[in-house]
Amino acid sequence: YAAKRQLSGALRYDPALDLASAQTLSLLTELRRAVEHNELRLYLQPKLALHGQPGLAAEALVRWQHPQRGLVAPMHFIPFAEQTGFVRQLTLWIFEEVARLLAAQEARHLPLRVSVNLSTRDLLDPELSTRLAAILARHGVQASAFCLEITESAIMDDPQRAEAMLNRLSQQGFKLSIDDFGTGYSSLAYLRRLPVDELKIDKSFVMGMQAGEDDAMIVRSTIELAHNLGLTVVAEGVETAAILERLRTLACDEAQGYHIARPLPVDDFLAWQARQG
């Protein structure tokens, strides 16, 4: 009973968490067990092409199928996993699940492109690109089928080391995306130097497009900026048909959001794709 109380306490993320506390150790044990007992789940959310070639694309989003608590959303354990460094194992698990799926889809002649989220810890791990390369080789898939999503704040944590790793990943053939664009503190001059392929407009701006002209203007300007820099631009958090149409008019390249589809378990995602024809 005591252990259970500690876990439920720890799942309410506390930024002032003492890394040596019993609570922290308990959640870390739970997370390790989650990987060993296959409690993590890969979910995929479709990315819809608004113009031109409708290649199949999705973002990988992790869930934790906890034996007592049910399906746990990443906000309840990703910040903790980042703080403890456990996220590096979690990233490799997600990456391998995606690689396995990509290999299976290629065998069925249904190629897919998948975006995987990286955290600061991943980016600053000197072993990252070697570990990813080993997984690619094991499953016989190309780096170019992957897009790696990094937030501005993850980059700005240690810009020099981040830049070196991004250059390596780009040379390996991975596509790179700046996630939650507009919420961080990176400078445009700096972003311009990075080997980035895509900007992903944060959902707060996209969701606000309906209510206010400020957010609509920010979205429009970001699309223009991305295109002027030669980047693809994706809107996340598209919740209504009206916003989707507006993004199409603004020449946004891709859209992602509940109006199109929620993040889905792999089998449901493949069924969704098949229905699109």
Measured CA to CA, the distance from residue 140 to residue 134 in angstroms comes to: 10
Distance in angstroms (rounded) separating the CA atoms of residues 179 and 97: 21
Cβ of residue 208: shortest distance to Mg ion, in angstroms? 15
26 vs 115 by CB, closer to Mg ion: 115
- Residue 47: closest CA among 228, 201, 166: 201
| Residue 119 contact among ligand C2E, Mg ion, none, beta carbon within 5 to 8 Å by kind | ligand C2E
Q: Does residue 119 interact with Mg ion by CB under 5 A?
A: no
Nearest to 199 by CA among 172, 221, 171: 221
159 makes contact, choosing from ligand C2E, Mg ion, none, with CB < 5 to 8 Å by partner type, with none
- Give the list of residues 6+ apart from residue 223 with CB closer than 8 angstroms, or none: 201, 233, 250, 251, 252
Task: Please state at what angle helix 87-107 crosses helix 22-36, rounded to 10 degrees.
Answer: 20
Q: Residue written as tokens 């700046």?
A: 178
Q: Is 120 in the site for ligand C2E (CB under 6 A)?
A: no
- Binding to ligand C2E in span 161-200, by CB under 6 A: 179-180
Any contact of residue 263 with ligand C2E (CB under 6 A)?
yes
The one-character DSSP state at 78 is H
Q: Closer to ligand C2E by CB, 223 or 261: give it.
A: 261
CB-side neighbour CA atoms (13 Å) of 176: 23
Binding-site member from 47, 88, 175, 203 for ligand C2E (CB under 6 A): 203
C-beta of 149: minimal distance to Mg ion in Å? Answer: 4
Report if residue 241 touches ligand C2E, rule: CB under 6 A. no
Which residues would be at the binding site for Mg ion (CB under 5 A)? Answer: 117, 149, 179-180, 236
* Interacting residues toward ligand C2E by CB under 6 A: 45, 60-62, 73-75, 78, 87, 91, 94, 117, 119, 149, 179-180, 203, 236-239, 256-258, 263
